[in-house]
Structure 1
Amino acid sequence: MIEKIEITQRFNFKRLNRHYECFTIDLVNNNAYYKISERGSGDKFLSEHSLCDDSWIDILVDLRKSMTSAIHAFDDSQKDKFLQDFNDLKLFEDFESEEFTYFEKIELIYSCKVIIYSTDNFEEYDFKNNFPRNWIGFGEMLEELFGFDVLHLNYQRQLVTPLYFDIRKDGVYLEDKLPLKTIEFGHYRTYPYELPNPRLIINFPENRIDGYIDKELTGSDRELILELLERYHVYMWIFDEYHRKSNARDPDDLEGYDWYLEIVFEGDIIWHIFGYNDYPDTYVGLAREVIEITGMDLLEVDTISDGDLELFDKFGNEKINGN
């Protein structure tokens, strides 16, 4: 018999703004609650540069406000219905967990851990991209029982993951390909500590490039940026198949540089990735081409060690060549 279900969700936004929550459904005592003692922090920069997109701020603020100390009680008939519906849902049938830890060298905008405690054992399921096939149905069940959006499905529609979006080498799709709104890239030293400020901001509606480059975004600029994003499979960087170098070797300098890349599409739909001294496999190839185009090391490839560069060349070339 299932006695308890713990749902731990983590949201990572740019410049170290994070939200961490654990919602516990206690099926022995017929109640549910947030573990307030496990509230995530690290939220030191809840502000935004005037040139940057700030779509993430309202999401983060509401996530924090929604996490209260309230106890959500339910009766035996509601519990019985929930357990029956949960069993019928077969949420984790044929499911394969994605292995990850609390601290990852490459982090995505969302991750989740579900632990199901039974009378004699427990089962743990982890995922970032590989959502259980009936995850939306599970969220609807929880909302029916508790009266609020436990799985934050409303905000999942604003976060680029495979739950609602089709992510391809040439872009992100709902029914149609999503138009770009902004791109923001930041790269900064972790020791001695630097504030995580953006290096490059590209605003498509306003036709502007700001940061280390300050210029009008021309039609040829726009076309070139879209070509680079597709050529180096940037939209696919959130998938583990683009983290082979990271999985194969730790960086030489563990106190070197952090970085982030945020792509916001029209409708304030956010794609985000964050790295601690490590990068997706095709990052270096993109960085070198940016140097050729601009004459500037905007992605700071010169901070990467020779040993790491060899592996980036190997894995990156394999990806670009279709292996």
Structure 2
Amino acid sequence: MTSPSMFPELANVDLPHHTLPAIESSPEVDASCHKQTAPRSKNIYRVGPPFVPTILHQVLFCEATNEQVVPVMTSRIDRGFELGEMGNWIGYKRNYVTLVSTFTFHGWSFDRTMKGKYYVLDDDNNKVRIRYFAFAISVKCNDPEVKVGLVQHTPKRDKGPKYNTPIYPAVPGGSLPDHQTVKLSSNKKNGNRVARMRQIFSFDRREFYRLDTHLNHSEQSLLKAYPCDLLAKVALFERIQFTKSLRVENTGSISKYFTISVELLGIPYCKDGLREHYVLATSDTVPLLVRGRSPSKYPGERTSGFRETDDVRED
């Protein structure tokens, strides 16, 4: 099951697990009046851990010239983690995570990218044509015995359904919006703001074709092969949470660290006997600590949500 999209025009598109950026959420409760910061409070919005340089996993080639094309990804976490007193990036299992990501091809303009076709080589060195590109996210632990996953919550603050994290068909060339824009994107109450956010995060193929009729009629255009008209130019993953089954308490002196990866996928034309997708590149966070209890339970390395107990204050 995949997350619902705010775009009704996707209702009849045959995309069993592909949606567009869900850039509309219901208002969130302002926790400023509470003693303890709520897990979903806007006070948790802060720029999080850095990402390492793009890691390449699959060589991508341009069909027309057979030259290698190198993806470059740019990502940022805007909610869910903060720097602890001892220099660890720390998040809490119940907290929501928000992150954004874009990609380009090194030295290639948007027009040049869209006018081409691309392929990868499978394990038998056969060409596999790429239909379109997409973004996904995943998580792993430095302890291979730890099973971990991510889910996406509905916009409402309740115990409603959770969804698999989405896969967003995406085009290159977007610029990451600033942190304040991402923060505002979580709470839109009027049509004007929704329209502004859509312009920032989404690419409208129909509008682009209206302005560029030459590319519209080109069968060699990568853009022609995408499965829908509204595409992500900035992938926005919001209301992301670690799965409830995750056990994050450390045993002994060895800490378990986690890495969140944004994946740039190549979706092949024919999936019969082939993979559903190829991971072309990833944008990975530095190692992260994920805590299972409230901040006050961790006096050793405090974060902003730490509150001393009554016993501590009396000493």
Q: Which of the two has greater helix per residue?
A: 1
**Structure 2-normalised TM-score?**
0.23
Higher relative contact order (CA 8 A, sep 6+): 2
**Structure 1-normalised TM-score?**
0.23
